[in-house]
Amino acid sequence: MAKHHFKTEVSRLLDLIIHSLYSNKEIFLRELVSNASDAIDKLAYLRVSDEAYKTLPHEPRIEVRLDREAKTLSVLDNGIGMDEQELEDNLGTIARSGTRRFLETLPAEAKKDSNLIGQFGVGFYSAFMVADRVEVTSRRAGKQEAYRWASDGKGDYSIDPVPAFDAPGAHPTAQGTEVRLFLNDAGEEYLSRWKVEEILKKYSNHVAYPIHLVSNEAEYDDKGKKKGESPKDEQVNAANALWRRPKSELKDEDYKEFYKGFAAEHLGFGVADEEPLLWMHTHAEGTIEYTSLFFIPKKAPFDLYRADYRPGVKLYVRRVFITDDEKELLPVYLRFVRGVIDSEDLPLNVSREILQQNRVMSQIRQASVKKILGELADLAKSDPEKYAAFIAEFNRPLKEGLYSDYANRDALLGLVRWKSTRTEPGVATAAGWTSLAEYKERMKKDQKAIYYITGGDEERLRKSPLLEAYRKEDIEVLICPDEIDEIVVGSLGRFGDLELKAVNRAGSEEGLASAKTAEAGAEAGKACERAKAVLGDAVKDVRLSKRLAESPACVVLDGDDPSLQLREMLKELGGSDLPESKPILELNGAHPLVQRLAQASESEAEDLARVLLGQALLVEGIKLADPIDFAARMNRLLGAKEA
């Protein structure tokens, strides 16, 4: 037996690989199958580029064999194979990979066509997470000798000749490699055929070559009694990647079936018979090469608004699954998108689990975002009703993009939709929404701004006293009931040359034709002074309103003060050191209650002032600090009126 020592600090590196590089043990199988696929790729390339290999018969095949009695799991391929020196070079040094060296010898154009992933050479060693001992038996294509590499991963390995090699699906003189794992206690779960098949379908379903799972399975008689075992050999992967096929070959039904099967099953969303709302299939070539296939679901995922949402895009590199748990593949606001990104040249770190912050991934992400937003814009133009169905489910995430994705803000401004005083309330059709561009087209000639109102309930906002003057002058106001609207719309500032004005802000009514203080005389002024004296620090100011026509009072905010609704929301999220926002109470000088305030006794004036403020706050959805006191004052006023 020829003993060798690893050429690097193997104990330290293996400990790193086993305990740090990989977050779950099952990926060892992904790595070994990926290596098997690489070996077949190498042979396929040589069969078309090297005369010595062109006549070599070859039917690509990968096998995973389970032996429960011996407690072994083997991965076999009939790829290029390795000779004695290659076993020592490729397996005797961690972070040195035959695949990587092979890539370095290829011309640039050939690299694009050779689907090789194991460029860092440590994936093989993940086998020691589940095995006490690993044996690699291999025969190089075109050679007669076969060799076996063996190690327990603790510092030494051996390489010895073997008389025969059981190549997968071929005779003993065929080329190929077998990696046999002698499983430890932690690895015995991978003797389950069901478990291994699940892992293979999860990680390697779209490897281009057939993967066969081979094991002996129990047979039972008609009474359920075990009568023996028989070999079971089944192909368990699809062996093709739909997204890599030309779009011209695919029909709508192909995409729909892919979505129902692959996406619903493996990405954990949707239902088996649900069709996607929209899909987009792209193959990009140039400085970077990748394929993407994205789907927009009809219904929002259940975890859309949870911080621990599950990403919906899978990352592949040359058909080999890398991750479905990477939230950086697309911006957070596009977390509802489902699908696949398959890169030809994406550089990965040594674990293949944690994506590097690199130029290639950044370019793929940027291009993917533009593609998705562009397709949504086309849908909005071509099928407004279908787009309205999309908006009903995903309008709020798009609004998040307005705040977080400045580079694509213009595109998002064209996609986001709003309720307004001109749209139909409570409907999810196109008639229930408007875009900012459509609002602008409907504006009155002398209108100088786009007006909006924020709050927590659409129906209440539509009935708000703050809209009375705008309704009177037939000026459209955007209705913004989402919690994030105040932050999002406030951050926009303008739409083109038009300022966006919140109608619940002091001064927003300036410019309205009816924005003039009612001719209420000295009595109205006296009412304001009395209310200001009673309310004191509870309000920032009390003034006569230029916006009220029917209601006795309303509250607005000054300048950039955070709204009372926003303060409530932030407080629920744990905010404590929030700046205090005191409302400005506006009174309708022509209203009987306000005139009554001017003439009331001291005690009645206090009740009237506090009730006017309380009802104005309630109308805006603000909780009263002391509802019992409010009810008592209301009862006294009602009693006084009856008397």
Taking only the tens place, the pLDDT of each residue in 561-581 is 777 666 666 666 665 556 677
Q: Is 19 helix (H, G, I), strand (E, B) or coil?
A: helix
DSSP H helix total and E strand total for the chain:
20, 22
pLDDT at 480: 92
The predicted model scores a pTM of: 0.72
**Out of 167-171, 398-402, 536-540, 578-582, least confident range:** 167-171
- Asked if 525 contacts 519 with a C-beta cutoff of 8 angstroms, the reply is no
Burial of 386 (0-12, 13-18, 19+ CB in 10 A): middle
Structure tokens belonging to residue 491: 């951050």
- The structure tokens 């890398």 sit at 322
CA separation for the pair 161, 74 (Å, rounded)? 19
CA separation for the pair 81, 31 (Å, rounded)? 17
**Would you give the end-to-end CA distance of the chain in angstroms?**
112
**Per residue in 104-128, pLDDT tens?**
565 655 555 444 444 445 678 889 8
User: Which stretches of 448-503 are DSSP H helices?
Assistant: 458-462, 468-472, 485-492
Mean pLDDT, residues 70-75 taken together = 96
From the list 425, 509, 423, the residue with the least C-alpha distance to 473 is: 509
- Asked if 276 contacts 257 with a C-beta cutoff of 8 angstroms, the reply is no
Domain regions of the chain by residue span = 3-235, 248-391, 418-515, 521-642
Give residues with Cβ within 8 angstroms of 168, minimum separation 6. Answer: 61, 62, 63, 76, 77, 78, 176, 178, 212
pLDDT classification of 77: cutoffs 50, 70, 90: very high
Let me know if domain 248-391 sits in CATH 3.30.230.80.
yes
Percent of the chain at pLDDT > 90 equals 41
Q: Is 492 left (phi over 0), alpha (psi -120 to 50) or beta?
A: alpha
Just give the CATH number of 3-235.
Answer: 3.30.565.10
CATH topology classification for 418-515: Rossmann fold (3.40.50)
Confidence check: pLDDT of 379 > 50? yes
**Per residue in 307-341, pLDDT tens?**
888 888 888 887 777 777 778 889 999 999 999 99
**Per residue in 485-499, pLDDT tens?**
888 988 898 999 999
pLDDT classification of 293: cutoffs 50, 70, 90: very high
Q: Are strands 320-323 and 338-343 parallel, antiparallel or unpaired?
A: unpaired
**CATH homologous superfamily for the domain 521-642:** Heat shock protein 90, C-terminal domain (1.20.120.790)
- Asked if 37 contacts 208 with a C-beta cutoff of 8 angstroms, the reply is yes
Give residues with Cβ within 8 angstroms of 511, minimum separation 6. Answer: 448, 449
Confidence check: pLDDT of 44 > 80? yes
CA separation for the pair 419, 172 (Å, rounded)? 73
Mean pLDDT, residues 537-555 taken together = 90
Confidence check: pLDDT of 270 > 50? no
Distances (CA, A) of 47 to 90, 256, 479: 22, 37, 66
CA separation for the pair 360, 212 (Å, rounded)? 34
**Residue 77 backbone dihedrals phi, psi, to 5 degrees:** -145, 160
pLDDT at 265: 44
**Per residue in 225-265, pLDDT tens?**
888 889 999 999 988 788 988 999 899 988 987 887 555 44
Give residues with Cβ within 8 angstroms of 555, minimum separation 6. Answer: 504, 564, 583, 584, 585, 586, 613, 616, 617, 620, 622
CA separation for the pair 82, 87 (Å, rounded)? 6
Structure tokens belonging to residue 323: 């991750």
From the list 189, 239, 197, the residue with the least C-alpha distance to 214 is: 197
- Asked if 117 contacts 38 with a C-beta cutoff of 8 angstroms, the reply is yes
> How long, in residues, is the chain?
643
Q: Are strands 131-139 and 176-183 parallel, antiparallel or unpaired?
A: antiparallel
Structure tokens belonging to residue 425: 């309330």
Mean pLDDT, residues 469-481 taken together = 91
